[in-house]
Amino acid sequence: MAWTESYHCDVCNSPRGDAEDWWLAWTDLTTPPEGTEQESLRITRWSHSLSHSADVKHLCGARCAQTFMDRWMLSEGARR
Ligand SMILES: [Zn+2]
């Protein structure tokens, strides 16, 4: 059975073409030397193996990566 991969940008929903340079983003936790752990945003260039990860976001370019970061910062800012 063929497995057809199709990615869509998690911000603008455009489909990914083969030659396009996309970005991946996800959050993990970082723990300051003093204090409690907090969420941090990670962005990296497209990696085929990372792109399968369940909680990773697919971003079609810098503009959508910035939009994603803006949204994340707003949600983090609301926690303080
Ligand atoms: Zn996009």
Q: How confident is the model at residue 1 (pLDDT cuts 50, 70, 90)?
A: very low
Can you give the pTM of this predicted structure? 0.84
> Residue 78: what pLDDT?
82
Report CA(39)–ligand 1 centroid distance (Å): 23
How many whole angstroms from 13 Cα to the centroid of ligand 1?
6
Residues 6+ apart with CB under 8 A from 44: 23, 24, 25, 50
pLDDT tops 70 at residue 4: no
Q: Stretch 52-57: mean pLDDT, rounded? A: 93
Sequence length of the chain is 80
Compute CA distances 30 → 15, 43, 54, 76, 78, whole Å.
32, 15, 20, 14, 18
Q: How far is the CA of 8 from the centre of ligand 1 (A)?
A: 8
Instruction: Determine the Cα–Cα distance for residues 7 and 53; give it in Å rounded to an integer.
Output: 12
Give the tens place of pLDDT for each residue, 23-44. 999 999 999 999 999 999 999 9
